[in-house]
């Protein structure tokens, strides 16, 4: 029999993979009855749960289990099933497979922008390292990195001065590929939907779009550069009267909203206007718009970030710098093919 995965146990018990992770890791949020059932099924399937004796033996051999904090800004959790919540779930699974623990903490807006209060897990010395998901206030980053005496790795965000230790997807090349795909379909009048100065990821995606447009010597019209979110990340935008033949969007949610707005105006996608997104992720419950996109390899990104922080816990001189994890294009039905 092959290696038993957490997903295999979850399927047999009829719960989520994260619930299995929490049950086996001894985390809160799982009833004792369910915990015992999961442990029993895991044992029956041959999944090895470390006993206290084995754990001490591993520690003696220099293979201690660690607790890694995962910090998510409150503004990213306006809806429960967000992209970063999905990333945390994958981090939790990866941590269990590494025989360590992932403890999530929400960064409140007040703490991030006003009090600059450090995460409780950091102040209480409850974690050995910290992974920060997404962009947060630079002042907070400075205080966090200067004050915390533990490794801090940024996931899906970087800054050359404040957040150098990071793991990101290939935002630039991914959007360049998407824009080139539009040109291959002879769709050359293009706009961009995304708040360019909102995050480093969106700016990199815009730069990929810009490179493709410049390569084809195409003019970028200001009215077709559409801001898609406010200062705190809330989504929303208006369309100009005259529209191009295609739009490159900063994410699939922006593409989804754009398609709805185009439909309201009487346009059909892709017959009248073609649309591409980025990340291949929509909140559960949203209808599938079959958006051509660039899929972010979140599993690989979370594993790289976890490896990075674990290496630094063991040896603070190792694993520094930025890692770029490639994704791949997913061609669906939102682009009119020639």
Asked if the bond preceding 270 is cis, omega within 30° of 0, the reply is: yes
Distance set, CA 187 to CA 180, 229, 243, 320, 331 (Å): 9, 26, 13, 41, 15
Q: Is 265 within a domain? A: yes
Structure tokens at 31: 């009833």
Q: What is the pLDDT along the chain (338 residues), one digit of tens a residue?
A: 455 777 788 889 998 877 887 787 666 667 888 988 888 888 788 775 544 444 445 455 544 578 999 999 988 876 545 788 889 889 999 998 888 889 899 999 999 999 999 999 998 888 999 999 999 999 999 999 888 889 999 999 998 888 889 999 999 999 999 999 999 999 999 999 999 998 899 999 999 999 999 999 999 999 999 999 876 567 888 999 999 999 999 999 999 999 999 999 999 999 999 999 999 998 877 888 999 999 999 999 999 999 999 999 888 777 688 999 999 999 999 999 98
Q: What span, in angstroms and rounded, lies between the C-alpha atoms of 57 and 133?
A: 33
Residue 329's Cβ-count burial label (10 Å; 0-12, 13-18, 19+) is middle
Looking at residue 232, its pLDDT comes to 59
Q: Is 31 within a domain? A: yes
Q: What span, in angstroms and rounded, lies between the C-alpha atoms of 55 and 40?
A: 19
Where is the domain boundary, 295, 313, 329? 295
Q: Is 14 within a domain? A: yes
Q: Is 72 within a domain? A: no
Structure tokens at 296: 């972010």
Instruction: Look at the chain and report how many structural domains it folds into.
Output: 2
CATH number, domain of 232, equals 3.40.50.2300
Q: Is 319 within a domain? A: no
Question: Which pTM was predicted?
Answer: 0.77
Q: Is 322 within a domain? A: no
Q: What span, in angstroms and rounded, lies between the C-alpha atoms of 187 and 121?
A: 50
Rg, C-alpha atoms of the chain: 22
Q: What span, in angstroms and rounded, lies between the C-alpha atoms of 187 and 292?
A: 14
Range of the domain at 5: 1-49
Q: What span, in angstroms and rounded, lies between the C-alpha atoms of 80 and 82?
A: 6
Q: Is 132 within a domain? A: no
Q: What are phi and psi of 135, to 5 degrees?
A: -75, 135
Q: Is 155 within a domain? A: no
Distance set, CA 140 to CA 108, 195, 259 (Å): 12, 22, 36
């Amino acid at each position: 029999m092959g290696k038993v995965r957490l997903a295999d146990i979850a399927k047999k018990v009829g719960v989520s993979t994260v619930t299995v992770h929490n049950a086996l890791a001894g985390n809160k949020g799982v009833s004792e009855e369910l915990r015992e059932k999961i442990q029993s099924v895991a044992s029956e399937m041959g999944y090895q749960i470390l006993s206290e004796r084995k754990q001490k033996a591993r520690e003696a051999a220099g293979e201690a289990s660690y607790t890694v904090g995962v910090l998510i800004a409150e503004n990213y959790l306006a809806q429960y099933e967000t992209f970063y919540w999905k990333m945390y779930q994958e981090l939790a699974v990866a941590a269990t497979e590494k025989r360590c623990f992932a403890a999530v903490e929400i960064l409140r807006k007040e703490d991030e922008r006003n009090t600059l209060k450090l995460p409780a897990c950091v102040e209480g010395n409850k974690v050995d390292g910290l992974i920060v998901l997404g962009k947060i206030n630079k002042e907070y980053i400075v205080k966090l990195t200067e004050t915390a005496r533990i490794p801090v790795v940024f996931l899906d965000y970087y800054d050359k001065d404040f957040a150098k230790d990071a793991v990101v997807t290939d935002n630039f090349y991914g959007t360049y590929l998407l824009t080139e795909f539009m040109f291959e379909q002879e769709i050359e009048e293009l706009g961009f939907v995304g708040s360019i100065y909102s995050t480093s990821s969106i700016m990199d995606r815009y730069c990929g779009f810009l490179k493709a447009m410049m390569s084809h010597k195409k003019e970028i019209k200001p009215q077709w550069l559409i801001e898609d979110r406010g200062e705190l990340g809330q989504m929303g935008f208006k369309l100009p009267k005259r529209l191009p033949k295609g739009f490159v969007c900063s994410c699939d949610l922006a593409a989804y909203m754009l398609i709805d707005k185009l439909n309201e105006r009487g346009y059909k996608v892709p017959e009248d206007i073609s649309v591409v997104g980025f990340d291949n992720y929509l909140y559960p419950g949203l209808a599938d718009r079959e958006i051509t996109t660039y899929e972010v390899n979140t599993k690989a990104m979370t594993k790289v970030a976890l490896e990075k922080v674990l290496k630094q816990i063991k040896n603070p001189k190792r694993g520094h710098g930025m890692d770029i994890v490639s994704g791949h294009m997913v061609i669906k039905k939102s682009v009119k093919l020639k």
